[in-house]
Copies of this chain bind each other. A is one copy, B any other.
Amino acid sequence: MRVIFNEELGLVADDLDRMALSVRDAIKKAGRSMLKCDVETAQEVIDGDADIDRLHASIIDQCIRLLAKQSPVATDLRVVVSTLSLSATFERMGDLARHIAETARRSYPDPTLPEEVVPLFQQMQEFLDVLADRLVDMLSDRDTTIAERIIINDDKMDKLHQKTFEYALSDDWRGSRQQLIDMVLVARFMERLGDHGVSAARRVVYIVSGFDPSKDPRDLDSDLD
């Protein structure tokens, strides 16, 4: 069910879809550049972030124009306000992908991560690749089933993130201090990408159902963990 109210809102929705596609590519390429020491791909992600920022600025302008000219109410209003929020989330996800790519570029030609920890980060990246695909599908179809799957799956990323710390503190750690710093930051960027994915999924549930799962009291509790 695609919720389009009029031509102008349809154009913003197209831009938001375009943004999701760009962010998906940035996430996949950033992970690959870091895991494969591929500096050209890293540079592509870094250069491409400006396009994501421009799309974000254009979406804000379009939403404000829509609010001023059409004074939407009910579902239409929910869509416009949620579009502002989704666009901000995607912009931030683009930044995080860029940060990962920047780390890959800085460490090049050395690998960003010590060899032993690469399989763990590959698992994290596989999680993010699936998330990135789901975000695109969820958005173009306003599909709450996909959104709910994203929300439920989030603790997998948290567990993988936790493992990076356990590894860094174990006797098996062989990396340099620079690698420890990079690993901690990249793991954080990846975990934040997962969080933002969940936040985007909640937004889509809110658009479609009018219920905001971020206000679920259980959820507020878990946020305090």
Contacts and interface: CB of A to CB of B under 8 A. Distances in A.
Nearest to A215: B57
Q: State how many copies of this chain the complex holds.
A: 2
Contacts of A84: 81, 84-85
Given A185-B184, A223-B53, A224-B50, A73 B68 contact: yes
A111 to B, nearest CB: 17
A180 interface: yes
A169 B177 contact: yes
A165 interface: yes
Contacts of A73: 68
A28 interface: no
B178 A181 contact: no
The DSSP consensus for interface residues of chain A is: helix
A88 interface: yes
A53 B220 contact: yes
Contacts of A57: 212, 214-215
Interface in A96-139: none
22 contacts: A47-B224, A49-B223, A50-B223, A57-B214, A57-B215, A64-B78, A64-B81, A67-B77, A67-B81, A68-B73, A68-B74, A85-B88, A88-B88, A165-B181, A168-B177, A169-B177, A169-B181, A173-B177, A177-B180, A180-B184, A184-B185, A188-B188
Nearest to A189: B188
Closest 5 A/B residue pairs (Cβ): A71-B71, A68-B73, A184-B184, A181-B184, A68-B77
